[in-house]
Amino acid sequence: MFYILKNVMTVIYDSKLPESGYKQGRIKKMVTVARETKEGKQSRSLTHKDEKCVGCGICTDLCPTSSIKLGPILPIARGLLKVDKININKENCVLCGLCASACPFEALEFDIDGVDIKERPEYPKWTDDAEIDEEKCIYCGRCEKACPTEAIYLSRSLPNVEELVRGETELDQEKCIQCGICEELCPAEAITMHRNDIDPSEPNVASSVELDKSKCVYCGVCKRACPVDAIKIVCTTCMEQEDIVTPEIEGCIVLNEDECINCGWCQEICPVDAAKVTKPFEGEIEYTEDFVCKGETCHACEDVCPCNAISIVDGKSVVNPLFCTLCGACAKACPQKGIIIKREKMNLENIRSKSWKRRLSGLTEENS
């Protein structure tokens, strides 16, 4: 059969995403090969999404033609360089699709005739996943704050204070001597004193004292502290705690799968077990016998970790396995090559090709 191979390099700029918390896309590099056969034409395209790439080097380790090279990951992670984390040699790439199938972060997309191989039944499928059960979620926001890739978005509405605690207040401006005691003591920060510059034409330290009823909890601290009895407060509900209405908290929690790297932070930090995560790999991290960590003087592993799983403790790097995806970025960045990634299992299914299975099996062996 006769083949004509054509390589075309195209640079595509993402449009700016709306201001909804999603990150702005970066440049994509796409290699397209058109294979002309007697039966017709087949178009293949490989797209690298640098904004999703973590610099783990899995694709560089697996590429059968050594067409992918890892960039200067550490300077990139530290914000010193603005270049793509990997480079694809379009002259050597045969567009087999192995790199895209093996990338657990979907930073590489491989299309055949416009169809992503993730949608094709003959190609491997990752089963790592993350989900949040909104029926269990109490909208506390812990997962949103902890997520290292900002993949979780929380929107919640809380009732106004006046819907829960009711009462009456009165502040006598004529009696008030603008001492500021009530403002400083108010636990709800409901009192504001509008201070003046001292002026002989207007010998007052403040123009007025304002009490925000939407913040006031009618505790009575200001009334008891006022030295001139200028404040009157009566709470109509807090006399009996049972009369206070239970707050109804409504909200919405969204997990953006395009940003999620299945690190496990949300699962571990959730107080009600509403988040469940299946990681791409199972295994552990070890160190070489002669490895002497430089700690704060290096911290390369900590800087490149996409999962915020590494910290410096007592002068040495410590990996928390609860948050580690075993991607291997830390091992690639370590200047002493002292980190060993031991993957015992990868959650990639439907590997039909024997040659692909042999190459992929290398990911579950010891890699330094």
Domain boundaries, the chain: 4-123, 161-243, 279-368
* Pick among 3.30.70.260, 3.40.50.300, 3.40.50.720, 3.30.70.20: CATH of 4-123: 3.30.70.20
Beta bridge partners of 268: none
At residue 5, does pLDDT exceed 50? no
> Mean pLDDT throughout 10-28?
36
* C-alpha dist (Å) from residue 274 to 103, 127, 130, 269, 270: 27, 19, 11, 10, 7
User: Quick one: pLDDT at residue 96?
Assistant: 93
Band (pLDDT 50/70/90 cuts) for residue 42 is confident
Classify domain 279-368 by CATH number.
3.30.70.20
**For the ranges 11-15, 49-53, 91-95, 189-193, which has the lowest average pLDDT?**
11-15
Q: Say whether 161-243 and 4-123 share the same fold.
A: yes
Q: What is the pLDDT of residue 26?
A: 35
What pLDDT is attached to residue 142?
Answer: 94
pTM score, whole prediction:
0.73
Tell me the fold of 161-243.
Alpha-Beta Plaits (3.30.70)
Do 54 and 183 touch, CB atoms closer than 8 A?
no
Mean pLDDT of 110-115: 92
Question: 238-288 pLDDT, tens per residue?
Answer: 656 666 667 788 889 999 999 999 999 999 999 999 999 999 999 999 999
Average pLDDT, the chain: 84
- Environment class of 74 (CB within 10 Å of its CB; exposed 0-12, middle 13-18, buried 19+): buried
